[in-house]
Amino acid sequence: MAATPHSARAYIAVDPVQDWEESLEILGVYGSLAAAQTAVRLLRARPGNRYEWSPKRTTEVQEWAGDEHRATWTYHPVTGWREG
């Protein structure tokens, strides 16, 4: 079913698949892009947790309206945020 103007918009922070033995993991669901991006940066900066990845790992924020995927922003610790 296509998204409508009344569809809920959600921003989902995910740890995407980056190796053959991994699966996608949802890190959180947020109501705005700014909140999701802030949460990802804070989660990655927290010492001693499993999301304090190597600089090679990326994290994504996906925008969804209803069941329709609208956009993806990728965070890399060296280059920052990129849409695409």
The model's pTM is 0.83
Give the per-residue pLDDT at 76: 87
Q: Which of 3-7, 40-44, 69-73 has the lowest mean pLDDT?
A: 3-7
Sign of the four-CA dihedral 5, 60, 52, 21: positive
Using a CB cutoff of 8 Å and minimum separation of 24, what contacts does 50-58 make? 51/15, 51/27, 53/77, 57/15, 57/18, 58/16, 58/18
Give the per-residue pLDDT at 50: 64
Beta pairing partners, 15: 25
pLDDT, one tens digit per residue, over 7-37 is 789 999 999 988 888 899 999 999 999 999 9
Beta pairing partners, 74: 60, 82
Give the per-residue pLDDT at 52: 61
Residue 54, token pair as written in the block: 């190597």
